[in-house]
A and B are shown apart, each in its own frame.
Chain A
Amino acid sequence: MVEIDLNHIYKKYANAEEENSYAVSDFDLHIKNKEFIVFVGPSGCGKSTTLRMIAGLETITEGELKIDDELMNDVVPKDRNIAMVFQNYALYPHMSVFKNMAFGLKLRKYEKDDIEKRVKYAADILGLTEYLDRKPAALSGGQRQRVALGRAIVRDAPIFLMDEPLSNLDAKLRVSMRAEIARLHQRLHTTTIYVTHDQTEAMTMADRIVVMSMGEVQQIGTPQEVYVTPRNKFVAGFIGSPSMNFIDVTYKDGVITDAEGLKIAVPEGRAKILEKQGYNGKQMTLGIRPEDIHAEEAFSETWPNSVVEAEVVVSELLGATSMLYSKVDGTEFVAIVDARDYHKPGEKVKLSFDINKAHFFDIETTLAIR
C-alpha cells in the first residue's frame, strides 16, 4: 500500500530571475495505490522538476509532500524508498548485467542470496536471463533500457518514477517498450509516475493524466476525460493527434460565423448553454477535432446547417483514413475522413462540423464554456 500526496507544491530555483518566477506552482495531486500517473506537457513546463522533488533530488520550496501520510519534504532520497528510471541512463561499463543490477543492493548491504533472487526475478520478467553475464557494450539499446528498468525492479520499491525513459529510443522500439512498461505495471502493480512530452504515450499508458504548462497543472483526469472534456484551450490543443482545430468565431442567435465567411448552425442544446453563460453576440474560440469533421453524405443530410463548402489544400491518404487540410475562404482546418472520401488538392468538398462534439473557449480566459 502506498499513497502519495502533493499538497500545493511550489518550486523556485535559486537562480530564478524574478521574485515570483516558479518552475512549478501550486501542484496539487493525490495519487492512489497502484495508480499509473503520467505527467505530460511541452518541454520546460516543470514535469522533471516535480518528479525530482518527489524523489528528493530537488528541495521543495513550499507545500507538503506526503507518502502514506508521512511528511517527506526533508527526507533524503535514499530513505524515500523510491526507484527512478531516467531518460539518459548509464550502466557501469566493466560490470556484467547481473552486477549492474545488483550493485545498488550490495551497497545497501542486502544478503547475497536475496540479491541473487531479486536479480533473477527481474531478469526473468524482462527477458534478460540469458544476458546476465554480458557487459553493457554487448547489448542492444532496448536491452540496455531493460537493464535500467531491472535496476529499479530489484529494489522492490513501492514507487517508480520514470522521466522520459523511452525518448532516446527509435520510434519502433519506443512502441514496444511502451507496451512492455504497461505490462510490467499490470504484473507488479507498483505505483508509478511517468513523465513524457508525448501525448500519445500519456494517452496509451496512464490511469490518470496530469497535463502541465508553464509550471502549472492544467487538468487532471483519465485519458478519456482530458480528451472528451478538456478544461481549457491548452489541454484541448495538446491532447489528441492531429491537434484540435481552433477558429475564432462570433456566436449570435444559434449561428456561429467567423470573419472569413464561415457560417455554421449550433444545435439547440449547445446554443442554450452559450446564451445562458452570456455569450450571445460575443466572440469565442471554436475547437473541433479533425475526426469530428465529416465528409459522409449521410451526415450532411442529417445536419444540413453544419455543412461548409471547403477547398482541399493538401491531402494525405493514410490507409483506412485520409487527412484533408482544407479551407473555407481564409479559415484553415484539418479533417480526418474515411479513405473513400479522399480528395485531391484543389478539389471542392462538402464538410460537416459535428458541433455537438465541438468545444467553445472564452477568448480571454481560454477556459471551456460549459
Chain B
Amino acid sequence: MVIDQLLKMYPSAKVISVPNWKDKTIVNYRIVDQWISIEKNELDSQQIELLELLSDHNEDETTNHWWQFLNLRSSNIPLVSKKIVKIKVIQFHTTKLESRDLAQQWIRAFSSFFNKVIDTFWVTSEYGILILSDSEIALDNTELISMIQLVDEDFGTKTEAYVGQSWNLNEELPEIFELEKCIFEQNDGDAVSNLSSDVISFMFNQKLASEKLFIVLKNTITSNSEYIAMIRSLYSNQNNIAKTAKDLYVHRNTLLYRIDKFNRETGLNLKSMDDLVLCHLLLC
C-alpha cells in the first residue's frame, strides 16, 4: 500500500484523522482516503511535488476557504453574516473555457441568476462551486435547466449542475458534502440533478443492482420497450391512468390491457405503488 510505503520512507510520517493546518512545520496529504502528515524539513521541493501528485486532491485545486472547509482541509468554518444559519452548495461541471477571463465571466453570468450568493469559485478549470444562503428563493429544475441552456449557448459550454440541499453551517457539513460530491460524480448527463432525483438510484446502484434477483427481474421488464415507456410514464404521472394514457398516446383501455399483460408476465402489478416504485428503480 502507498501509505505503508510512505510511513517507511519518512520517519516523521503519521496517519492522522484530522489534519492540523495551523502547524506550518508539517504538510498534510489525503492519500487513498486517509490523511497523512509529514514534517516539512524531511522533504525537498521535488518530493513535495511528487506527494502532491500522489495525493487525492488535484494539484490545481483552489485554496478558497470554503473549499478547504468543505473538504476537511481546514476546520475553520468560513465567516459569514450571523443571519446565515443554513447554506446550500451548487456544484457545476462544464467544458473548459479558453481563458481565465472567460472563466470569470462565465461564473459571473451563471451566478447572476441567484440573489443570495455567498461565494462562488472554480475548483479546477472545469469544476466549480456556488455557495448560496438558504434564504435564496427555490428554483425548480426546469428554470435551472433553462439558465444553463442560456449560459451554455453564449459561452459554447456544456454544463451539468447539482443542487445541494440546505444544511446547517457547522462542522458536520463536510461529511454531508462528501456524499453530495459522490452523487454528483455518478450523474450521467442530466443537466440538473439533486438529492431526490438521484439518491435512490445512487443507493440502489451501490448496493443491489448487481444482485442476480434484480438482474433477472430487470431483464424481464426491459424485454419490451412498451413496458419501459409505460413504467416511466406511470411513475412520472403518479400512477394516474388517464394522464399516462394521454402521455403515451394510447387509449385508456389499451393501457389497462398492457398493465394486465405485464402483471401476467412478471407477477408485478403496476397499479400498486410498491410494485411501480420497484420497477422504476430497476430502470434507473
Contact = CB atoms under 8 A, between A and B. Distances in A.
B145 interface: yes
B154 interface: yes
The listed residue with most A CB atoms (<10 A of its CB), out of B145, B149, B248, is B149
A352 to B, nearest CB: 26
Interface stretch (A90-98, A118-126, A174-182): A90-98
B154 A76 contact: no
A90 B222 contact: no
B283 A90 contact: no
A151 B152 CA distance: 13
Interface in A85-119: 86, 88-95, 103-104, 107
A93 B146 contact: no
Interface string A1-24: 000000000000111011001000
Contacts, number: 69
B188 A103 contact: no
Interface in B200-235: 218, 222-223, 225, 228-229, 232-233
Contacts of B126: none
B105 A17 contact: no
Given A43-B247, A44-B229, A90-B113, A13 B222 contact: no
B222 A18 contact: yes
Contacts of A104: 153-154
Nearest to A237: B249
B148 to A, nearest CB: 8
Given A13-B189, A44-B229, A86 B249 contact: no
A42 interface: yes
A90 B149 contact: yes
A273 interface: no
B150 A78 contact: no
A42 B248 contact: yes
B156 A78 contact: yes
Interface string A49-77: 00000000100000000000000000011
Contact of B112 (A18, A88, A92, A238): A92
Nearest to A45: B249
B142 interface: yes
A86 B112 contact: no
A107 B142 contact: no
B158 interface: yes
B109 interface: yes
A151 B150 CA distance: 10
B102 interface: yes
A21 B105 CA distance: 40
A214 B155 contact: no
Contact of A89 (B146, B247, B249, B283): B146
Interface string B146-168: 11011001111010000000000
B143 interface: yes
Given A42-B249, A93-B112, A107-B105, A17 B146 contact: no
B225 A14 contact: no
A43 B247 CA distance: 7
Contact of B143 (A76, A88, A103): A88
A230 B109 CA distance: 48
A89 B150 contact: yes
B225 A86 contact: no
17 contacts: A15-B189, A17-B222, A18-B225, A21-B228, A42-B247, A43-B247, A88-B146, A89-B149, A90-B143, A92-B109, A94-B112, A103-B154, A104-B154, A107-B105, A107-B155, A151-B153, A214-B225
Interface of B: 102, 105, 109, 112-113, 142-143, 145-147, 149-150, 153-156, 158, 188-189, 218, 222-223, 225, 228-229, 232-233, 247-249, 283
Given A86-B149, A95-B112, A107-B102, 9 more contacts: A15-B189, A17-B222, A44-B229, A57-B158, A77-B158, A89-B146, A93-B113, A104-B154, A107-B105
Q: Which 9 A-B pairs have the closest CB atoms?
A: A78-B156, A88-B146, A42-B249, A17-B222, A90-B146, A104-B154, A90-B147, A90-B150, A88-B142
